[in-house]
Structure 1
Amino acid sequence: MERVTLRIPAQQIEEVEQMVERGKYPNRSEAIRSAVREMLDEQQEQTTNNRNWAKV
């Protein structure tokens, strides 16, 4: 894995920390990785749907 440095508003980090504390994610890094995976999945789905629509 590569390390990435990013700046996120304090309020958003606090919300991520709350999800970690509630046990939804084991740590902040995994929460952020999950968000990135979800974003990439959504993008892939949109690309696939647009291709299917164009073929009709």
Structure 2
Amino acid sequence: MERVTLRIPKQQIEEVERMVETGEYPNRSEAIRSAVREMLSEQEPSQERPSEKRKRRTWARA
């Protein structure tokens, strides 16, 4: 596994911490890995039609 450093807004980290505290995830790293897996599964290009490509989520800078 490779280590990645990233910046996340404080409010989002606090939400992740709450998920860890309630037992939904064992730690922050696993919560973030789960979010990445979900994002990647939503982006399955082999099953996308051309019209769906235009609807892809765009990410705002924080």
TM-score range, shorter chain: 0.7 to 0.9
Letter in 2 for 1:17: E
| 2:25 aligned with 1:41 | no
Separation of aligned partners in 1, 2:48 and 2:4? 30
- The number of aligned residues is 49
CA RMSD of aligned residues (A): 1.1
Higher helix proportion, which one?
Answer: 1
Determine which structure has more spread, i.e. the larger CA radius of gyration.
1
Partner of 2:53: none
Deviation, 1:50, is: 1.6
Gaps of at least 5 residues in structure 1 are: 52-56
- Point out which structure has higher relative CO (alpha carbons under 8 A, 6+ apart): 2
Partner of 1:54: none
Deviation, 1:49, is: 3.4
Separation of aligned partners in 1, 2:4 and 2:20? 20
TM-score by length of 1: 0.83
TM-score by length of 2: 0.75
Letter in 1 for 2:14: E
Gaps of at least 5 residues in structure 2 are: 51-62
> What SS does structure 2 have at the residue aligned with 1:33?
helix
